[in-house]
């Protein structure tokens, strides 16, 4: 029981650490069904990110595996004028971090 | 040869059902070969025949019917939640989330990917891998590369009605510029067909298929303006002289219309919003010679009116018809009116008496002034577009414009300055071309001349960013064009150079004006001297009536002199005949008497008559 609780606390700690990095604007954890599990942004933005990112991930993963079936997607960075959206995918969950790298 | 088969049917049998029957074949025509024709042909030997081993295919064009599509929005709801869960319910969702968080698999996964993520975040912070290294140099390079000025059509909005009307006026939406309001009407006198629709439209520039909103006035709108302070309010001047205003939130019908008795008597050609505390004041101009001021909250009558009488007496019969108006918010007390007669009248709003309202007039154009606008950077100079030229004026010089374009082959129907570059202005012509003028680059010809459509272009309006412009044509087609970056970015020193140019031209005109004045003075003094010598007191500026009277007097004098001469001659002849015979005297006497009477009458008439009616009678003597 203690282990699980510690693990839960560790997750919290890790997220907090990422949040405290310079320029990070928001973190979202989404599950495979598109349900945002955890988010530091407001609900409407969260839902928007969750929905759009999922589609993008599918496309990107499909593309990588199409070119080389042995390959797989490990990380996706989308750089835009205002910020950078980083997506770390996994089988069941994915983590989205929006960072504004200091210019 | 013609093969004709005559088919007859009795009148009484019309409409009867056809009874078909079989019959054997009939030979109608048998054309036998004519061997003599063979003499026109020779046998070709050898023949070249191309052969290809390929599938024979034929080309066939197919075009589907026009499909009208409409954009609509769909409201998404959060998905993915299990069926038994209501996503709106906060408690349940929180509980679900907490459950997931406790899941071990979740925690492991997150630890893994969070580690990866942290690494990338740190990377970002360590170095900016997308840093622009040669930013400053890039800017300079961009400036030097001079691209050809160009403009391209982005979208074309056609009048959806069957009967096409002219797009007489356009107005961009004040915030965001995503909408364009276009007023449609037929300006040809009494040529509007009966089934012509009166509607005007507001288009969303992204969607040329269907207007975003329809405005339904009582009479077609000639001009349309958005309220710069409140983008939901539009005011329109209509063909029958009424003014109406719309609130786009309330629908297509006008929110209020002015009463017919107090409106204009001719189409309202221009309506402009004024600077006021309430933001509800407008003023309108029409060819009936009046400029009326209205408050849109009370449209029953205008709160001020001005009659454009150049003799300053407020006489409506003498008034000049107004075709365009100009008002600059930085100079709220002054405004200018462009008239049908080719005069620009500058007026002062704050004058106490109507006579003082009209300050001065600028003449020089030969036809109605379709466009009048001050340069947004140099308000002392304004542009007028009329007849076959466009002219730039300075407020101080009233006799002529300081700069003008050459006379074109087609009438210029509208024009405007670019809001971002002081040296650029646009004009549209009756042959459907759009001209972009850059007076710093070329003064004799337009910098860019583009044929937009085959029919006349009647109106043009530039968006506030100077990049997009809309022009409306005679068949109701509004074209949205984008100009190249060079024509809508301010060049360095541009303001200074344009200001110098205007000053230089103004000075030239001033000198010319002074010289003309001197010459006229000299002429006048010379002619006055010569007239004094002759003893007459003719004033250089006689009124037309005096001139007419003088002409009559001179004519009668001449007539008198002629008659006297004849009379003298007759008397001479009589004297000669007297010596010849007495019996003829009586006849002559009678004649003499009648002549004398006639002459006496003539003399009396010429002495007292000033009425041209008598002049007619004289001719019958």
Question: Count of CB atoms within 10 A of residue B588's CB?
Answer: 16
Average pLDDT over residues B377-388: 88
Across the interface, whether the CB atoms of A93 and B106 are under 8 A apart is answered yes
CA B584 to centroid of chain Cα atoms: 81
Model pLDDT for residues B470-498, shown as the tens digit of each residue: 999 988 899 999 988 888 888 888 888 88
- Bridge partners, residue B536, by sequence: none
The neighbour count for residue A79, using CB atoms within 10 Å, is 13
Burial bucket for residue A35 (CB in 10 Å: 0-12, 13-18, 19+): buried
Query: So what's the pLDDT on residue A1?
Result: 46
Report whether pLDDT(A96) > 90.
yes
- Reduced to 3 states (helix: H, G, I; strand: E, B; else coil), residue A55 is helix
Enumerate the residues of chain A whose CB falls inside 8 A of the CB of residue B78: 35, 47
Looking at residue B542, what is its pLDDT?
Answer: 54
Tokens of A19: 């949040």
Would an 8 Å CB–CB cutoff place B94 in contact with chain A?
Answer: no
Q: List the single residue in B with minimal CA-CA distance to A84.
A: B124
Contact of A63 with chain B, judged by CB distance below 8 Å, is answered with no
Which residues on chain B are in Cβ contact (under 8 Å) with A90?
109, 112-113
Supply the pLDDT for residue B307: 83
B370, B353 contact by CB (below 8 A): no
Q: How far is B446 from chain A (nearest CA, A)?
A: 38
pLDDT at B52 over 90: no
Using a CB-CB distance cutoff of 8 angstroms, which residues of chain A are in contact with residue B81?
33, 35
Residue-averaged pLDDT of chain B: 81
Q: For residue B592, what pLDDT is reported?
A: 47
| B17 reaches A (C-beta below 8 A) | no
Mapping DSSP to helix (H, G, I), strand (E, B) and coil, where does residue B174 land?
A: coil
Confidence of residue B533 (pLDDT cuts 50, 70, 90): low
- Min distance B325 CA to chain A CA atoms (Å): 44
Task: Measure CA B62 to chain center.
Answer: 40
* Residue B136 pLDDT grade (very low, low, confident, very high; cuts 50, 70, 90): low
Predicted pLDDT of residue A85: 92
Confidence band, pLDDT 50/70/90 cuts, at residue A102: low
| pLDDT on residue A44 | 85
Residue partners of B545: CB distance under 8 A and separation at least 6:
none
- With an 8 Å Cβ cutoff, is B123 touching chain A? no
pLDDT digits (tens, 9 = 90+) for B219-228: 889 999 998 8
Residue whose entry in the numeric block shows the structure tokens 């209205």: B294
pLDDT, mean of residues B360-364: 84
Nearest neighbour of A18 by CB, restricted to B97, B101, B121: B121
**A22-36, B182-196, B445-459: range with lowest mean pLDDT:** B182-196
Task: Say whether pTM exceeds 0.95.
Answer: no
pLDDT confidence of residue B342: 86
For residue B137, what pLDDT is reported? 62
Contact assessment for residue B413 and residue B424, using Cβ atoms and an 8 Å cutoff: no
The angle subtended at Cα B88 by Cα B84 and Cα B89, nearest 5°, is: 70
Report the pLDDT value the prediction gives residue B605, as an integer from 0 to 100: 46
Residue B617: pLDDT above 50? Answer: no
Give the lowest-confidence range in A88-92, B180-184, B489-493, B563-567: B489-493
Distance CA B236, CA B183 (A): 8
- Tell me the per-residue pLDDT of A58-83, one tens digit each, with 9 for 90 and over: 899 999 999 998 999 989 999 888 88
**Would an 8 Å CB–CB cutoff place B611 in contact with chain A?**
no
DSSP H or E run through B534: helix B494-534
- Nearest C-alpha in A relative to B132: A103
């Amino acid at each position: 029981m203690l282990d699980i609780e510690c693990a839960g606390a560790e997750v919290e700690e890790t997220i907090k650490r990422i949040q405290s990095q310079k320029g990070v604007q928001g973190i979202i954890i989404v599950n495979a069904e598109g349900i945002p599990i955890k988010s530091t942004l407001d609900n409407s933005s969260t839902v928007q990110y969750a929905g759009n990112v999922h589609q993008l991930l599918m496309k990107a993963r499909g593309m990588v595996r199409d070119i080389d079936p042995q390959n797989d997607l490990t990380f996706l960075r989308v750089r835009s004028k205002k910020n950078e959206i980083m997506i770390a995918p996994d089988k069941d969950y994915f983590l989205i971090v929006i960072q504004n790298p200091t210019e | 040869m013609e093969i004709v088969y005559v088919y007859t049917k009795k009148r009484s049998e019309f409409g009867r059902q056809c009874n078909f029957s079989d019959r054997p074949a009939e030979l109608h025509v048998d054309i036998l070969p004519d061997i003599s024709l063979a003499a026109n042909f020779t046998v070709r030997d050898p023949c070249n025949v191309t052969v290809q081993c390929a599938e024979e295919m034929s080309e066939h064009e197919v075009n589907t019917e026009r499909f009208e599509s409409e954009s609509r929005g769909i409201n998404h709801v959060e998905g993915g939640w299990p069926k038994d869960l209501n996503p709106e319910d906060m408690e349940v969702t929180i509980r679900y989330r907490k459950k997931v968080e406790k899941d071990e698999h979740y925690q492991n996964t997150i630890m893994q990917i969070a580690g990866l993520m942290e690494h990338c975040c740190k990377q970002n912070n360590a170095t900016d891998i997308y840093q622009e290294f040669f930013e400053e140099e890039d800017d300079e390079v961009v400036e030097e590369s001079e691209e050809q000025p160009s403009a391209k059509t982005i979208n074309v909005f056609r009048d959806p009605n069957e009967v096409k009307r002219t797009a007489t006026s356009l107005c961009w939406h004040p915030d965001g510029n995503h909408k364009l309001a276009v007023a449609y009407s037929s300006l040809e006198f009494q040529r509007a067909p009966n089934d012509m629709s009166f509607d005007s439209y507001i288009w969303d520039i992204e969607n040329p298929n269907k207007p975003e909103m329809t405005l339904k006035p009582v009479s077609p709108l000639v001009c349309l303006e958005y309220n710069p302070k409140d983008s939901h309010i539009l005011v329109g001047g209509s063909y029958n002289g009424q003014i109406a205003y719309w609130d786009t939130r309330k629908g297509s019908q006008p929110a209020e219309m002015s009463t017919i008795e107090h409106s204009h008597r001719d189409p309202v050609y221009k309506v402009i919003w004024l600077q006021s505390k309430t933001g509800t004041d407008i003023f309108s101009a029409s060819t009936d010679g009046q400029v009326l001021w209205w408050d849109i909250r009370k449209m029953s009558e205008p709160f001020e009116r001005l009659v454009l009488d150049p003799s300053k007496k407020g006489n409506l019969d003498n008034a000049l018809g107004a075709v365009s108006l100009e008002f600059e918010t930085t100079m709220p007390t002054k405004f200018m009116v462009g008239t049908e007669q080719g005069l620009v009248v500058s007026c002062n709003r704050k004058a106490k008496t109507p006579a003082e309202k009209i300050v001065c007039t600028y003449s020089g154009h030969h036809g109605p002034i379709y466009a009048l606008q001050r340069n947004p950077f140099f308000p002392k100079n304004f542009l007028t577009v009329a007849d076959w030229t466009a002219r730039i004026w300075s407020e101080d010089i009233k006799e002529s414009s300081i700069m003008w374009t050459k006379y074109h082959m087609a009438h210029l129907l509208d024009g405007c300055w670019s809001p971002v570059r002081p040296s650029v202005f646009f004009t549209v012509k009756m042959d459907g071309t759009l001209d972009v003028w850059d007076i710093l680059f070329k003064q004799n010809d337009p910098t860019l001349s583009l044929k937009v459509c085959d029919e006349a272009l009647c109106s043009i309006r530039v968006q506030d960013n100077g990049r997009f412009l809309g022009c409306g044509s005679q068949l109701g087609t509004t074209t949205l064009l984008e100009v190249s970056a060079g024509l809508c970015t301010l060049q360095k020193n541009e303001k200074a150079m344009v200001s110098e140019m205007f000053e230089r031209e103004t000075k030239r005109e001033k000198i010319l004006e002074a010289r003309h004045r001197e010459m006229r003075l000299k002429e006048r003094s010379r002619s006055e001297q010569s007239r004094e010598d002759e003893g007459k007191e003719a004033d250089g500026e006689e009124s037309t009536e005096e001139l007419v009277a003088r002409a009559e007097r001179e004519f009668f004098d001449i007539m008198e002199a002629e008659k006297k001469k004849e009379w003298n001659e007759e008397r001479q002849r009589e004297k000669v005949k007297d010596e010849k015979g007495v019996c003829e005297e009586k006849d002559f006497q009678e004649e003499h008497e009648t002549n004398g009477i006639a002459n006496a009458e003539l003399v009396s008439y010429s002495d007292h008559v000033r009425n041209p009616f008598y002049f007619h009678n004289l001719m019958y003597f």
